[in-house]
C-alpha cells in the first residue's frame, strides 16, 4: 500500500498560523492595556477654578 497523504505546503501553514496569531496577539495587547488601568492609582481630583468677576467680588 502506497502513502496516500498529501503534504501541505509550508507557506499555507505559515499563513494559517498568521491568520490566527495576529488577531490573537492584538486581543492580548488590548487586554493588557485595559488590565493595566485596573492597577494604577486613580488620578487626582480635578480642581474647579471659578473665574473672578466684579459681580462675584461685590457679594
Neighbours of 22 (CB within 10 A): 10
The DSSP letter of residue 40 is S
Looking at residue 4, its pLDDT comes to 86
Looking at residue 16, its pLDDT comes to 97
Are 56 and 50 within 8 A, CB to CB? yes
What counts of helices (H) and strands (E) characterise the chain? 2, 0
pLDDT at 59 over 70: no
Q: Where are the domains of the chain?
A: 10-38
pTM above 0.85, yes or no: no
Go through the chain and tell me how many residues it has.
Answer: 59
Three-class SS state of 38:
helix
Model confidence pLDDT, tens digit, residues 1-55? 577 889 999 999 999 999 999 999 999 999 999 999 998 888 888 888 877 776 6
Amino acid at each position: 500500500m502506497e502513502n496516500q497523504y498529501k503534504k501541505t505546503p509550508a507557506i499555507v501553514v505559515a499563513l494559517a498560523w498568521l491568520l490566527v496569531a495576529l488577531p490573537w496577539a492584538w486581543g492580548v495587547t488590548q487586554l493588557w492595556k485595559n488590565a493595566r488601568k485596573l492597577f494604577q492609582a486613580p488620578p487626582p481630583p480635578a480642581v474647579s477654578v471659578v473665574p473672578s468677576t466684579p459681580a462675584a467680588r461685590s457679594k
